């Protein structure tokens, strides 16, 4: 009995730490991406980030006796990585050449809605309960309240928002698809293979778009380099591993609540690093967002 209780407590602790990682780390990656793409083309930056992260993890895991993924696993990894990292993060990075990191976070916050709807309609999931719908609604309203005052309706910004919107849909589909396909049992190896495959695909996209010909190595700033390093280690290796593990451990709707908390962290980082103003409407929106997260994650008594 004691061993069972200890195991349950350990699992809860791991879940708590994993949520903390995706909440805090991924909340700062929007600013990190924005800084990185200041002097490095978006798809090239994302490709280097994921290729490096996946390669580092793969080498370490194989050195520790891990099994190299089979061809079947690589095929699944390429599809999942293509959806979540190329279509998702790659497009977000591309859009942040045009829009602010906070606005990108706002659009990304629609992912829980797509995960819930696609999971129900196309992936055999259960119909969301009224409680889940209420939580999703609160969170989305809070996100709108958070950034609506700062949205300017210029064409470049609208194009950037549209790009992130498409990326959000890709990321949601990839998240759900990853639960149904054969991937390495070891979550770390699964993460490494997906990032490595996505890194190769992103670098291919970069080449097709002619990004290397537009790159001026002498113009690459130190802050952009440091941002890529941060995104590689924390955003990719730590954050993405935690996210995939949570997808296999708890309900995807609960995992997707990080997309509500992330914009809150993005606002705070904008205030702390970029000296952006934090107004009372922003604070009110933050309360609404966190209320939505609480509604989704709280079990009601039967």
d(CA 116, CA 251): 10
Whether the CB-CB separation of 25 and 237 falls below 8 Å is answered with: no
Whether the CB-CB separation of 201 and 81 falls below 8 Å is answered with: yes
Q: What is the pLDDT of residue 201?
A: 98
Q: For every one of its 302 residues, what pLDDT tens digit does the chain have, with 9 covering 90 and above?
A: 555 555 567 788 889 999 988 999 989 999 999 999 999 999 999 999 999 999 999 999 999 999 999 999 999 999 999 999 999 999 999 999 988 887 788 788 778 778 877 887 777 677 778 888 888 888 888 878 866 765 655 567 778 888 998 999 999 999 888 888 888 888 889 989 999 999 999 999 999 999 999 998 999 999 999 999 999 999 999 988 888 788 888 887 788 778 778 888 887 887 788 776 667 877 787 788 778 777 876 765 54
Whether the CB-CB separation of 257 and 296 falls below 8 Å is answered with: yes
Q: What is the pLDDT of residue 7?
A: 55
Q: What is the pLDDT of residue 302?
A: 47
Q: What is the pLDDT of residue 198?
A: 97
In tens, the pLDDT along 100-155 reads: 887 788 788 778 778 877 887 777 677 778 888 888 888 888 878 866 765 655 56
pTM confidence score: 0.83
d(CA 192, CA 40): 23
Q: What is the pLDDT of residue 92?
A: 96
Q: What is the pLDDT of residue 81?
A: 95
CA distances from 101 to 46, 146, 264 (A): 15, 13, 12
Q: What is the pLDDT of residue 228?
A: 97
d(CA 24, CA 268): 11
Whether the CB-CB separation of 61 and 196 falls below 8 Å is answered with: no
- Among 13, 41, 31, 20, CA closest to 210: 41
Q: What is the pLDDT of residue 18?
A: 92
Q: What is the pLDDT of residue 6?
A: 57
Name 75's Cβ contacts closer than 8 Å, sequence gap at least 6: none
d(CA 248, CA 262): 21
d(CA 105, CA 78): 25
């Amino acid at each position: 009995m004691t061993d069972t209780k200890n195991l349950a407590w350990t699992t809860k602790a791991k879940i708590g730490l994993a949520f903390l990682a995706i909440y805090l780390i991924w909340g700062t990656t929007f600013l990190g991406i924005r800084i990185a793409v200041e002097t490095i083309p978006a798809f090239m930056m994302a490709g280097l980030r994921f290729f490096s992260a996946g390669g580092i993890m793969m080498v370490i895991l194989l050195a520790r006796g891990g099994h190299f993924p089979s061809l079947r696993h690589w095929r699944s990894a390429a599809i999942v990585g293509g959806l979540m990292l190329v279509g998702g993060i790659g497009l977000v990075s591309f859009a942040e050449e045009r829009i602010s990191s906070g606005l990108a976070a706002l659009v990304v916050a629609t992912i829980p809605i797509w995960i819930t709807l696609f999971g129900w309609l196309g992936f055999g999931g259960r119909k969301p309960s009224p409680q889940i719908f209420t939580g999703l609604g609160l969170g989305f309203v809070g996100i709108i309240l958070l950034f609506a005052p700062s949205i300017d309706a210029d064409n470049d910004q609208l194009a950037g928002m549209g790009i992130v919107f498409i990326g959000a849909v890709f990321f949601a589909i990839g998240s759900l698809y990853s639960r149904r396909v054969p991937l390495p049992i070891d979550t770390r190896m699964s993460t490494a293979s997906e990032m490595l495959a996505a890194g190769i695909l992103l670098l291919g996209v970069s080449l097709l778009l002619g990004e290397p010909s537009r790159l001026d190595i002498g113009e690459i700033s130190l802050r952009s380099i440091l941002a890529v390093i941060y995104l590689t280690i924390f955003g990719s290796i730590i954050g993405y591993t935690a996210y995939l593990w949570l997808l296999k451990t708890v309900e995807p709707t609960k995992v997707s609540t990080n997309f509500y908390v992330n914009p809150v962290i993005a606002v705070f980082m904008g205030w702390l690093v970029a000296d952006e103003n934090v107004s009372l409407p922003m604070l009110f929106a933050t309360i609404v967002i966190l209320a939505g997260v609480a509604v989704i994650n709280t079990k009601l008594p039967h």
